[in-house]
Amino acid sequence: MNTWLPPRTFAAATAAVLALTACGGSGGSPNASGSTPGASGTPAPPAATSAPSAPSSPTPGTTTSPQTPAGPSATPDGTPPLGSWSLQPLWPFGTLAQAEAWQRSYRTGGHQPWHLDPGRTALAFTRDYLGFTEIDRVSSSRVSGRHARVGVAPTGSEGGTAAVIHLVRFGTGPDAPWEVVGTDDTTFSLTAPAYGALARSPLTAGGRITGVDESIHVQVRQPSSEAPLGTSACCTPAGGENQPWSVTVPFSGARDPVLTVVASTGGHVAAVERFTVTAVRTR
């Protein structure tokens, strides 16, 4: 929502912003996918989310993992640190300490080298964490600096890419592992709850979808649990051209700081033909 300011108040606010900009360092690099970057600086984290307002229409190519330009602790290329609300670590590491522990084990014994491959990490996230075992191939891959966008799809499916997964290097050094932070969405989006929002049960999930006879299923997951913390009744019918969808999901047992909300649809040529994820915080 935009708030109107009187001319004098607006001028004062503008001067304050210019003063902060002069002290704030360099801005961030543009998103590799063409997603719309956030405003300068680091915005305040979203408020607690349990029943958000109706989601707005997504812009094709936008991402559920928004990026903000450089802040005080951003990397030299302008990437915010993972764990800031604008880039949440979804999987496989929950904290920087976990990522650094893997780096040490890799340097001494070559442990789990797949963490250095964004494609293998994206597929492991899809199959091992989300449980979409039929999605087993990389359909596209683009790496730009510390960011990677990896398309994943079912083998033999004519439906094309199921999702484009956004990954970011977690930590420092050439052996910093890849971490999933969200998905880039086009015809199937998950815009509520807001990315990085503080979530409570029951959670209202929603977005927009283009398709015919779609059947949407939503789960809430955390890396430390094999089973989902909550799941929607299967399944929510949807379809049409850029139409809104919404479903309420109760969940319990959250103990990880970041949870994954995943929405999927399918049933035409594969059980899961498209999916989208977002990150929510528990504290």
pLDDT digits over 60-78, tens only? 344 454 443 333 345 555 6
Residue ranges and CATH numbers for the domains of the chain are: 28-35+50-281 (2.60.40.2550)
Q: Are strands 48-49 and 203-221 parallel, antiparallel or unpaired?
A: unpaired
Flag whether the pTM goes above 0.85.
no
pLDDT at 158: 63
Contact between 124 and 110 (Cβ < 8 Å): no
State how far the alpha carbon of 19 is from the alpha carbons of 13, 22, 39, 78, 118, in Å. Answer: 10, 5, 16, 20, 39
Q: SS3 sequence, 239-262?
A: EEEEEEEEEEECCCCCCCCEEEEE
Contact between 66 and 35 (Cβ < 8 Å): yes
Successive 10-residue mean pLDDT values, the chain, 283 residues: 38 35 31 29 35 38 43 54 80 95 96 98 98 94 96 80 97 95 96 95 96 92 96 88 95 96 88 94 92
pLDDT at 114: 98
